[in-house]
Amino acid sequence: MNERTGFTEELVERAPVVFFRRSAALDRITYISPNSDRVLGYPPFEIEATAGFWDGRVHEEDLRWYQRGLETLTDGEQTEGEYRFVRRGGIPIWLHCIEYAERDGAGALLGTLGYATDVTDRMTVLAVLRGAHAEMKGLNSDLTEARDAAETANRAKSEFLTGMSHEIRTPLNAILGYAQLLAMAGLGGEQREGVDEILKGGRHLLSLVGEVLDIARIEAGSLPLSMEPVSVQEICDECVALVRPLAWDNQLTITGPAVDDNRFLMADRQRVKQVLLNLLSNAIKYNRPRGSVELEVETEDGHVTINVVDTGMGIPRDKMAALFKPFERLGAEQTDIEGTGLGLALSRRLAEAMKGRITVSSRPGRGSTFSVRLEIVDAPAKTSTRARRPRAQGSHRELPERRIIYVEDNLSNLKLVERILERRPSIELHAALQGRLGLDLIRQHQPDLVLLDLNLADIDGLQVLDGLKAEPGTAAIPVVVISADATDKRVEQLRAAGARDYLTKPLDVARFLMVLDGILWPAGVEDVRQRPG
């Protein structure tokens, strides 16, 4: 069992979630994840052995809702809701369940895939609130109750995923950080291959965490978008340039479109780039040897359509319906092709959030075309730009000495930064394991830069930053936040409070060093003033 598989199984075992598959008749659970004994009180073999086992343990007061949800799967694609499930010993727990219909090529129901989350604590609080509301206003309608339950479930899911992201990013900081240092050490042979596998697995997990969070934010309506006119030519050229090395590695040719300079689409630049890169990466990964990938652009009815055309094996018609479902890889999980099964689902949601859409057409054996359609807009007014003067280069041993104080209570993260800064011998690093101690050291030593973690043992990192900015003697000291909290809201909060930059764990070592160099030696070797004394 590899490290990634073991991690997934451990995560499933500890999470308050069970995954299951239901038969075509919807009366039998044919598979349930091994943690069912802990979450539901019944081992898998007991649940799978008897038809009607699950139905017979749904609380009688919730049976109508439960059955109504199953009935919708006869013609629909998905059902979602909460109901009480009676554990062994007669103790009911609240489950939030989502089930997706599985169908054959003719549309006949083969069964369902689903997962159930224990939300008993939250539903208990919700029940108390509903009871108080009922005394004042009377009973709510079924529609209002369903809406409130859905909103509560979405909040619970978002909070769980945000917390999960933080807990995963923290150990990944050490894994990917030290792996990047090993990769820089000039290893060869099997050692380099091993380091590359560690980096590949860690980045895959990091990508999965980011995609899951993005989908959760979209579903909760909390994904921030910065809509602006985006040059079609620039975004296409940039994306093609980024994936061209991957195409070369796979012996593929890739060509971009010939686009008029005056065509612009309305989108969030980073998000539309994310969508196109995902489609281009898929077109490369699932192509045939010596095949091709082509980017085409069309304009019609006030919209720009960017087509990603590949010469791969195509997608069978009976699998088209599952193409944009989360974690559905259409059998590719049985191959050595990397992927999470979330890219297309996230891309479609991002396109829809930007008031666009993604469509696909495919000819088995000949290839597929994925199309992104977004609104066309007028070109923005041109503004003058000033070229950034490149920083002069020089040996890091020749650079003037600088002092950094790192406020961090995690020794693993501290040791990682110490190892990274061995590549900058001109930096003198001091550490503070508590926020208040960090404030005292910064006031006393007046460092050139402060590195700041947020989740400290005594006070929050934001309080440290506020304290520094409130004092004239420390207000000008640049602060770079290093945190596993990668939410946009937190980043904006710390930047607004005065942080010079915000780096998320796991650290990208090259970017970390670039940020430090830009702050500590902005003019390079020639013009930097030595520290007084």
Asked if the structure places residue 514 within a domain, the reply is: yes
2 pLDDT exceeds 60?
no
Is the separation of the CB atoms in 170 and 484 below 8 Å? yes
The pLDDT tens digits for 104-129 are 888 888 999 999 999 888 877 776 77
Q: How far is CA 34 from CA 42, 93, 118, in A?
A: 10, 18, 15
Query: How confident is the model over 358-365, as a mean pLDDT?
Result: 89
In a shared domain, residues 476 and 416: yes
Q: What is the pLDDT of residue 356?
A: 92
CA distance 257 to 259: 6
Confidence of residue 497 (pLDDT cuts 50, 70, 90): very high
pLDDT at 506: 81
Query: What distance in Å separates the CA atoms of residue 405 and residue 532, rounded to the nearest whole number?
Result: 18
Residues 206 and 294 in one domain: no
Report the candidate in 92, 99, 79, 163 with the shortest Cα–Cα distance to residue 123. 92
**What is residue 387's predicted lDDT score, i.e. its pLDDT?**
38
Asked whether residue 252 falls in the same domain as residue 349, the answer is yes
Q: For position 30, what pLDDT does the model report?
A: 93
Q: What is the pLDDT of residue 214?
A: 65
Q: What is the structure's pLDDT at 388?
A: 40
pTM, entire model: 0.44
Does residue 106 share a domain with residue 11? yes
* Position 393 in a domain: no
Confidence of residue 527 (pLDDT cuts 50, 70, 90): very low
Considering 219, 244, 259, which residue would you say is the last residue of a domain?
219
- Judged by average pLDDT, the poorest of 213-222, 231-240, 242-251 is 213-222
In a domain? residue 371: yes
**Containing structural domain, residue 518:** 402-527
| 357 and 262 within one domain | yes
Looking up residue 135, the CATH number of its domain turns out to be 3.30.450.20
Confidence label for 217 from pLDDT (cuts 50, 70 and 90): low
Residue 410 lies in a domain: yes
Whether residue 298 is contained in a domain is answered as: yes
CB neighbour list of residue 146: distance below 8 Å, 6 or more residues apart: 81
| CA pair distance 13, 38, nearest whole angstrom | 9
User: What CATH number is associated with residue 433?
Assistant: 3.40.50.2300
Each residue's pLDDT tens digit, 166-211? 566 667 677 777 777 877 777 777 777 777 777 767 666 666 666 6
- 472, 498 in Cβ contact below 8 A? no
Nearest to 93 by CA among 135, 36, 14: 36
Look at residue 293 in the predicted model and tell me its pLDDT.
92
Residue 92 has pLDDT above 60, yes or no: yes
Q: Is residue 356 part of a domain?
A: yes
Pairing state of beta strands 253-255 and 292-300?
parallel
Q: Say if residues 372 and 306 touch (Cβ distance below 8 Å).
A: yes
Q: What is the amino acid identity at position 326? A: P
Residue of higher predicted confidence among 119 and 142: 119
Average pLDDT taken over every residue of the chain? 80
The Cα–Cα gap between 204 and 337 comes to 12
Top mean-pLDDT range of 3-17, 133-147, 173-187, 502-516: 502-516
For 9-55, the pLDDT digits (tens) are: 777 677 789 999 999 988 899 999 999 999 999 999 999 988 999 99
172 and 133 inside one domain: no
> Residue 317 carries which DSSP code?
G
pLDDT tens per residue across span 383-403: 443 334 334 344 555 678 899
Mark whether 275 and 317 lie in a shared domain.
Answer: yes
First to last CA, the chain: 57
Which tens digit of pLDDT belongs to each residue from 249-292? 888 999 888 766 678 999 888 788 888 888 988 888 888 888 99
Q: Please tell me the predicted confidence (pLDDT) of residue 167.
A: 61
At 5 the pLDDT is: 56
Residue 212 in contact with residue 343, Cβ under 8 Å? no
420 close to 513: Cβ distance less than 8 angstroms: yes
Number of CB atoms found within 10 A of residue 88's CB: 11
What's the number of domains the chain is made of?
4
pLDDT at 8 over 70: no
What pLDDT does 256 receive?
A: 87
Q: Which of 16-30, 64-78, 161-175, 492-506 has the lowest mean pLDDT?
A: 161-175
Please check whether residue 507 lies inside any domain of the structure: yes
Six-digit token string for 233: 């030519």
- Tell me: do 194 and 306 sit in the same domain: no
CA distances from 235 to 214, 263, 274, 290, 437 (A): 21, 11, 10, 25, 47
- Tens of pLDDT, residues 439-486: 888 988 899 999 999 888 778 889 899 989 888 888 999 999 998 887
| Residue 26 resides in a domain | yes
